[in-house]
């Protein structure tokens, strides 16, 4: 099936193009940004060689819905979504940190814990915890924002402020917004029979100095979900939790001897495996949003996007 791997549009009023790991950002006149969610798949900060059908659409539409569901709490950059893969919003100067918040000791936190570390980004983790146990209170474990091909790195609140990456006044706002968004996201997840385990938020500052939420929110790429039904029983028995996230891709890569480390080669993804990944993303969409997924037309994706965007801009 057709996928969006790379775009090179020339929209009216276009000033520049930035290509991230999975999104391509077009700067337009009038302080607008146009973001195309591609079908590229990133894991361990490495972009996989093949795209995943519908992945970009799924992430864009989940993020759009979640931004609308949280805009009463935290202002965001979004203005319009003229195409299933496109979001248009206010141009911002992004803060060079990702605000990661964890309600449970899973994923990266669990890997650090198993390695014997009890401090993550300056935040202590109690002794005696099991993987996927809930923290007494959600913890914020920021990461520096990496360029394509580089790894995000853990960093403490103190180092962020000390190094001048974010001012203390702005960081207080980022922490407040992060906790409010995670609380709302957890409530939305609970209404769908899910647990929002951990997630990350990115923020930027508009031309008039307002701090706003940018990029994706509560998607399976930026978040980890568990099914609530059976969580306690699985923890008690020591069984793995049933997840809704792209952790299944990471685990497949790990089982094929790849964790993004130097000298490792990305394993070949067969067409059959890619189809299963696409199906899992559709399952994620439907469980997270509670809505049936409507597949966009893939016959000529570039032409579709260009037509929809030009209609909106016109």
What kind of architecture, by CATH, is found in domain 94-248?
A: 2-Layer Sandwich (3.30)
Beta bridge partners of 143: 98, 154
Contact at 8 Å (CB) between 68 and 81?
no
pLDDT given at position 150: 54
Same fold, 14-92+269-313 and 94-248: no
What is the spatial distance between Cα 125 and Cα 294, in angstroms, rounded to a whole number?
42
Cα dihedral 69, 73, 75, 76 in deg (nearest 10):
-30
pLDDT of residue 147: 59
* Residues 96 and 88: beta-carbon distance below 8 Å: no
> How far apart are alpha carbons 110 and 286 in whole angstroms?
27
| pLDDT at res. 146 | 63
Domains of the chain, by residue range, sit at: 14-92+269-313, 94-248
pTM of the model: 0.88
CATH class name, domain 14-92+269-313: alpha beta
Q: Please give the chain's pLDDT, 314 residues, in tens.
A: 689 999 999 999 999 999 988 999 999 999 999 999 999 998 888 889 899 999 999 999 999 999 999 999 999 999 999 999 999 999 999 999 999 999 999 999 999 999 999 999 999 999 999 999 999 999 999 999 765 545 679 999 999 999 999 999 999 999 999 999 999 999 999 999 999 999 999 999 999 999 999 988 999 888 999 999 999 999 999 999 998 878 788 889 999 999 988 999 999 999 999 999 999 899 889 999 999 999 999 999 999 999 999 999 98
Sign (positive/negative) of CA torsion 299, 300, 305, 310? negative
pLDDT for 248 equals: 83
């Amino acid at each position: 099936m057709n996928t969006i791997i790379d775009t090179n549009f020339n929209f009216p009023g276009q000033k520049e193009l930035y290509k991230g790991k999975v999104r391509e950002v077009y700067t337009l006149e009038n302080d607008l940004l146009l973001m195309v969610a591609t079908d590229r798949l990133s894991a361990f900060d490495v972009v996989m060689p093949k795209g995943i059908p519908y992945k970009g659409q799924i992430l864009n539409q989940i993020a759009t819905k979640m931004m609308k569901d949280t805009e009463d709490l935290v202002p965001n950059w979004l203005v319009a979504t003229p195409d299933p893969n496109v979001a248009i919003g206010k141009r911002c100067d992004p803060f060079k940190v990702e605000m990661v918040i964890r309600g449970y000791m899973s994923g990266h936190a669990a890997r650090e814990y198993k390695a014997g570390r009890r401090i993550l980004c300056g935040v202590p983790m109690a002794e005696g915890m099991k993987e996927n146990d809930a923290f007494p209170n959600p913890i914020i474990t920021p990461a520096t924002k990496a360029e394509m091909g580089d790894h995000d790195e853990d960093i403490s609140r103190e180092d962020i402020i000390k190094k001048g990456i974010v001012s203390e006044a702005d960081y207080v706002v980022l922490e407040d917004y992060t906790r409010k968004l995670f609380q709302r996201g957890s409530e939305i997840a609970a209404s769908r029979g899910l647990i929002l385990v951990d997630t990350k938020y990115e923020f930027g500052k508009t031309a008039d100095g307002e701090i706003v939420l940018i990029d994706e929110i509560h998607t399976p790429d930026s978040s980890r979900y568990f099914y609530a039904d059976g969580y306690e029983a699985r923890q008690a028995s020591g069984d793995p939790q049933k997840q809704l996230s792209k952790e299944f891709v990471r685990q497949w890569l790990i089982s094929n001897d790849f964790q993004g480390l130097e000298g490792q080669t990305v394993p070949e993804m067969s067409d059959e495996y890619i189809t299963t990944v696409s199906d899992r993303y559709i399952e994620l969409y439907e469980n997270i949003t509670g809505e049936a997924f409507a597949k966009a037309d893939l016959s000529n994706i570039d032409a579709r996007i260009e037509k929809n965007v030009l209609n909106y801009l016109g």
